Structure 1
Amino acid sequence: MIKSDQINSSSIYRINQIKISHATFSNISRSGTGFGAAINALLQTGSQLLIKDSQFIQCKGSNISGGAIYLFIYQEGQVIISNSSFNQCEALDGGGIGALIVSSGKMIIDGQCNFTDCKAIFSEGSGGGICASIFDLNSQLTLKDGVKFERCTSSRGGGIYAELKQGSILKINYSQYNQCQGSSSGGGIYGYVQLGGKIIIDGQCNFTECKSTSGNGGGICQNIYDGTLNIEDATFDSCNCTQPGDGGALCIFQNPNSIISITNSSFINCKTISNSLDQSYGWGGAIRIYTSITAENLNESNFLIKDLIFIGCTAVNSIGNNIHIQSINTLATGEAIKNRNLLTVKDLSNPPNIISDLYTSISYAYDYMGINQSIQADNPGTTDFYLHNPLFEQSFTSNVPNPTYIDSINGKDIKLCGEQSSMCKTIKYSINRNPTLLSLIPPPDTSYSIIMTSNTQQDNNIQIKSTTLLNGNVIIQSNEYVAEAGNDVYNKQSISTSQFSSSLFTISETGHLSLLGLHFDNLNPSSTNPLISISTTTSNSPQLLIDDSTFDQSAGAQIYHSLIEMNGGMMTIQKTLFQNYVLLDDQSLINIKSDKTSTVIISGTSFISNKQSGDGNGSAINMDLKIGSQLTIKDGCSFIGCQSTRSGGAIYAVLNSGTTGGIFIEGTSKTSFSQCVASDQGGAIYLDVKSGVESKFDLSGVNYSNNNEALQLSLRLLT
């Protein structure tokens, strides 16, 4: 053991300087209890120990502290270790170095010192590389100029464990932590700071692939009571922790009278990882903070998180991908952070500027979240997304993303889903939400778009009415849809419903639904409900637009329902294909019963190989026109191979007396009928015009081929 010389019993010490240079300590094992297998030193009253250009290899002790070195540094004693390496050293605590630094003692580690594969082997051991207790004012541990920790492990603080009290300081400048691991907490560093202690981490410190396997803080875990943590110019890359841990890179417990400052630092691909054996916690993919400071007392002097970069960070269930804060009141904490500008994040799309809408955009809802302390107390470690809140929810301009993206495979139907980074799973969930803000101010959006990024078989019984998403105007489209693209230029996402019996869409009141660039099949073949229903019981006018879509019967099916049933409202179908349906009983593809005024416009649309079986008229369209109802077909529609067991192979229409509407097939591009067959009358069209409305039809835009078949071939006009 190295110790200062004692002259007499009055405890007067000489000042000594001891230098160890270019030494190698290899394969040294210490049995029994004690300190430091290679060096055990006591430094007092200004004594100094210098260790330089030395190696410590496999220095171990199963019941000691400080595998290679243990240092007692008192009364302004000083230790400097430079350009030395510690490889595969092990101890209960402090696999490489253990130290007690008090009474203005100081320790400096600098100049390319390396700690490699060092371990604290006790099940609750601390500090795989270094374990240091630093007490009293002016006592300090400094690491600088390239100190490196690689693959060091312990329960707490894979690289470093530091306990600080009474004004002591740990200062870390320009150091690296690679693949260090803390099984309990703090893969790179674990700090316990109280009574004025301070940890300063600055000067481009890097934490790479550090992790905590069952606790908090893959990179750093800090517990602060009346102390300070200052992190500046640090990078956390691919750090993680596993449930029940929080904070993939950084976990901080900010207790009363404590200060935290995290500035100009980067968090890249940090995450919390789910654990099938313990599915609690996992909050904060990059940073998790517990603060006991009330919202009204948060300010720049005790809580500052500025100029950060987040790239690809994720949390279990997306509960705070970048930051999660547990506080007394989440919304009040978020409001204080916003009002005092305590959090800023760099805009990587517009460097070096910060994100301007961080506090107001729903795009960041999952990235910055929190939970009330009372909720956590009642539901410890809950991963129920609805018990957590976005930090800035009260400042959002909408509670529903517009557009909302749907991914039936990887999406999740959770609160505020719909951004491309956090897609919803189903259409139904995404539209059954209230966009009104917490402030009760409605968002300015007059319509909402739903973007389908995958096929789905999970949607059914979707109601579109006047109050749907506030204004009742919903647009559902494939993600590659382009208005002028035309059929089959892009992939049409499919909404398959053959396992359901209820209608897919029901449009009523003043609901307005647009279906753009989609693919549909049919309901359960035995269902008698229409795939899409549009109707009204009042003077309201629901609306349906179908553009550039395809309706194609599921393989081998014969269906007992229509695709579209209408009674009142307005419907426009354009550039759409209906093909290969076999309709049983009296069903038609489009069935229009006009107790209320119905307006239908069909343009540029094809009906191919659709057949009725049973007692039906008009395989494609069956329309009973009353009041002001009107059917217009134009712009080169085509009806090919349409078959009816009665009249009107393709179209069957009754124009009732007193109607002010009519039926019009018009346009310079003719609507063609070929290979259409009816067992009775009108191979292509059967039109029954009642008395007094003889002027309410115009078929000048029709072009018949000579291969339509019926008793009256192509057209049967009954007046």
Structure 2
Amino acid sequence: MNDKGQLIINRVILDTCYSAIGGGMLFNISHTVELVISNYSYFGACTASGNGAGVYITTSNVANKVLIKDNVKFDICNCPGGSGGGAYIDAKNSQSVILDQVLFSQCNAQTSGGGLFLEIGENTTSKIINYCSFANCKITNGIGGGIYASINGPNSNILISDSILFDTCTSSAEGGALYFQYNYAGTIILDRVSFKDCKGSSGGAIYAQIIIPGSKLSILNQTTFGQCNSTVGNGGAIYTEVKGTGSEIQISNSINIDNCNTPITADGGGAMYLKVQDNGSAILDSVTINKCSSKEGGGIWVQIEAGCSFKMTNRSSIRGSVITTGNGGNIHAVINGADAKFELSNDINIDDCQITPGVGGGGYFL
């Protein structure tokens, strides 16, 4: 579409559709066009041999807007040779991408984003809000079982918020539910999100490399992780690398990680695996980790390099962790170099941890 205005898809059903790209629909929009897909529109059993089995969207103008809302559903959509099983959205030139009450069920892709593939560019805001769900979405030979999202320009942000559910999402590689790629400094916020039974090779729920200086990942406000597992590598629920001045991961305000695990083939981090380098920082505030297990660091495995910091504070707790062969029942910390800071403060509870058979540090190992 190459003119000003609004393109509206309202209460449309597409069932058993096929194309090389955009199995259900394909949109190339430019100028000041807003695309709206809404009101119980349904994409069922759509297939694309390439990208975007349900819908394929590209934008080419910084004024473009994409809005998918009001119980739109992508159901049993499949990209056997590409990315974006439900939806593929290339919004590197766009003002905003908003998904509001959108359902992805049993969507599969080969390479990236079993449910959703999303790329945003400079000054772009993306929101995935209000009871969006990703259930039984899968990547067969790649990353991001639920969502693959990348920031490809400065001053951009992604918000995933308000009762969002990832249930039984899996990937053959990293990020069972979510894979985040920072190619420019940007901010990603998860607020009131639930992860259940998600699996990836590393980062059973979330895999994020926060390696561009000034980038931030915040996991906030009653976000929960239950029974998420890494199948090969580290981080049963969360795997992150934080690198560069001003780069930060913040996990805060009643976060609960329960019964998450890594295999004995991995270094560790039953709940989370953190690498903090080049003046990066990690903050855990009011986080509860319960009954997680791994080879080392049943709750947390963290490496802190020179000039970096790790802080766990404000009634955070780790309970009932189990490690199988290594050190640090609840926390395994590796601290390298000058001015590296490791802090536990303000009513931290480390309780009921086991080393079976283990070497040392039932509570934590430094």
What TM-score results when the alignment is normalised by the length of structure 2?
0.84
> Which residue of structure 2 lines up, in the alignment, with residue 100 of structure 1?
119
Report the equivalent of 1:83: 101
1:582-593 to 2 correspondence within 5 Å?
Answer: none
Q: Which residue pairs with 2:45 in the alignment? A: 27
Structure 2: distance between partners of 1:84 and 1:391: 44
Alignment equivalent of 1:209, drawn from 214, 227, 235: 227
| 8 A Cα contact 2:321 2:354, kept in partner | no
Task: Give TM-score, length-normalised by structure 1.
Answer: 0.44
What root-mean-square deviation, in Å, do the aligned CA atoms of Structure 1 and Structure 2 show? Answer: 2.6
After superposing on structure 2, the runs of 4+ consecutive aligned residues of structure 1 that deviate more than 2 Å are 13-21, 74-77, 327-330, 363-367, 383-392
Structure 1 match to 2:156 = 139
* Structure 1 residue 320 displacement after superposition: 1.1
Amino acid at match of 2:305: S
Count of matched residue positions in the alignment of Structure 1 and Structure 2 = 330
The one of 321, 331, 336 aligned to 1:328: 336
Aligned to 1:65, what secondary structure does the other structure show? coil
Q: Give the Å deviation of 1:389.
A: 11
Aligned partners of 2:292, 2:37: CA distance in 1, in Å?
A: 42
Question: Which residue matches 1:288?
Answer: 301
Structure 1 residue 18 displacement after superposition: 2.7
Which of residues 157, 178, 192 in structure 1 aligns to 2:175?
157
Match of 2:319 among 300, 311, 317: 311
The within-5 A match list for 1:271-420 is 271-272=293-294, 282-293=295-306, 297=307, 302-307=309-314, 308-317=316-325, 319-328=327-336, 337=342, 342-344=343-345, 346=347, 354=348, 385=359, 391=365
The residue number in structure 2 matching 1:127 is: 144
Distance 1:389 1:218 in 2: 19
Alpha carbons of structure 1 residues 389 and 268: separation in structure 2 relative to 1, 3 Å: closer
Counterpart code for 2:273? C
For 2:320 and 2:179, the matched residues in 1 are separated by 28
Q: Residue 261 of structure 1 corresponds to which residue in structure 2? A: 283
1:251 matched to which residue of 2?
A: 273
Could you tell me how far apart the structure 1 residues matched to 2:137 and 2:365 are?
40
1:502-581 matches, within 5 Å, as: none
Asked if residue 230 in structure 1 is aligned to residue 239 in structure 2, the reply is: no
Match of 1:115 in 2: 134
Structure 1 residues 413-492: aligned runs within 5 Å = none
Relative to total residues, which structure has the larger strand share, 1 or 2?
A: 2
Between the aligned partners of 1:328 and 1:201, the Cα distance in structure 2 is 26
Relative distance call for 1:327 and 1:111 in structure 2 (3 A) is same
The CA deviation string for residues 155-205 of structure 1, in whole angstroms up to 9 with x for no partner, is: 2111100011322111110000000001x2001100011222211110110
Asked if the contact 1:148–1:176 (Cα under 8 Å) also holds between the matched residues in 2, the reply is yes
C-alpha distance after superposition, 1:313-360 (max 9, x if no partner)? 111236211111122279x97xx54xxxx21374xxxxxxx56xx8xx
Q: Which has the higher contact order (CA 8 A, sep 6+)?
A: 2
Partners in 1 of 2:257 and 2:208 — Cα distance? 17
- Deviation string 1:16-69 (CA, Å, 9 cap, x unpaired) is 3433331111111112x3x21111112331211111111111110111110010
Change (3 A) 1:365 1:21: closer
**Which ranges of structure 2 fall in alignment gaps of 5 or more residues?**
1-25
**Cα distance in 2 between the residues matched to 1:210 and 1:316:** 18
Task: Return the alpha-carbon distance in structure 2 between the equivalents of residues 29 and 364 of structure 1.
Answer: 49
* Residue 205 to residue 287, structure 1, CA distance change in 2 (3 Å): same
Amino acid at match of 2:284: I
Are 1:3 and 2:19 matched, yes or no?
no
Bigger radius of gyration: 1
Query: Residue 386 of structure 1: CA displacement?
Result: 6.6
Structure 1 match to 2:7: none
Aligned CA distance change for structure 1 residues 49 and 169 (closer, same or farther; 3 Å): same
Q: Is the Cα contact below 8 Å between 2:353 and 2:362 reproduced in 1?
A: no
Whether contact under 8 Å (1:60, 1:91) holds in the other structure is yes
Letter of the 1:242 counterpart: P
Matching of residue 54 in structure 1 with residue 75 in structure 2: no
Choose 191-200 or 63-72, whichever is displaced more.
Answer: 191-200
